[in-house]
Structure 1
Amino acid sequence: MNVLSLNICGSKHRSKRDWVKELCLKHNIHFVGLQETKMHRFEHFRIKFIWGNYNYDFTCSFSQGHSGGIISIWDPWWHRSYLIVKGKWCSCDDYFFMVNVYASQDPREKAAIWSALRDFMDVHQGVYMLLGDFNVVRDESERFGSIFSEEEACVLKFFLDTACLVDLPIGGRAFTWMNTP
């Protein structure tokens, strides 16, 4: 993952925003941390101009008085049912994708999520770790106190197989959720 950190001493002048944008494009930056932005309020046009497109997420702390202000900007991949973060471990050339999933209860929406994630994985080569609440299990023995759906289990198994994912065994309790009094 390529990261850029700069103290820009103010983001008001277009020439500085042009310079940061040029650096981001030239070096294929995935995450930028800017210091001394001197921004007192959210200014979407400045952030968009620095990043170069509308596909970004950010967090910021506004300046106090005439100095300070920091902002972090990055490329997100998200859907209402999942968030994807891309990065690299220092000792490895592969990209790693962490995918946090909260799947719908609706079987059709779940199937659409698996399809969209599979499409994403086809385009973005790397190592994937999916975690979260899939709201489906692969085997009836993994259900307790709820209805098992063979059809949904088959759809999940197909997704895991075609995406070359391995369902790791869980530690601790036999079930990941329980209603305690």
Structure 2
Amino acid sequence: MFAEFITQTLSGVVAVFVGIWLALIVERRRKTEDTVERDALQLAEYERVIDSILGSVVKNTAEAKRILRLIGSTHCPRLLHADLETAVWYASHGHFTSLCRNVDQRVILSQFFDDVRRLAAFVDFRSDLQAQMTTQGRRSDDAEVFELAKEVDNHLAALAEDLRFTGYMVITDHGKPVHKRLMGIVHEAA
């Protein structure tokens, strides 16, 4: 009777330990599967966000090229309109920052859109200056006005070139094939 009691007690203890061990294994597998699923969802969300942001980089780079062409032409309008876009960045940069694990990519894109904002502000400044000179009756052939307009256009061209170059580098380093095609970046087959 005592031997039977010991056998039943030991089998009960072993069953409890085996049950706990199996439960731990099942729980570990469930957590692993949940982690894999969560990581896949985050990666998909990151891909959607980065596609939108890189699309905006392509658009802003093209606009910087257009501004450069206008500034370099002999018939540059006095009042420029720049169709630069920052809305995508401002709407998604918090979400992008939380999903992006690459610090360099976060910094580069943040700097790019800061340059976009700076270029847009300078285009507005140039247009305001041109409008003021016109309303104040300043002649464009006046040496002082001509020199000021030339300096402003040179600075605007430098800002646009910086944005164009940075955008090209962002797409070269971080863009997907579709973004590279839109920018005219082609790679030779290996």
Structure 2 length as normaliser, TM-score?
0.23
Query: Which structure has the greater CA radius of gyration?
Result: 2
Higher relative contact order at CA 8 Å, sep ≥6: structure 1 or structure 2?
2
Structure with more of its chain in helix, by fraction: 2
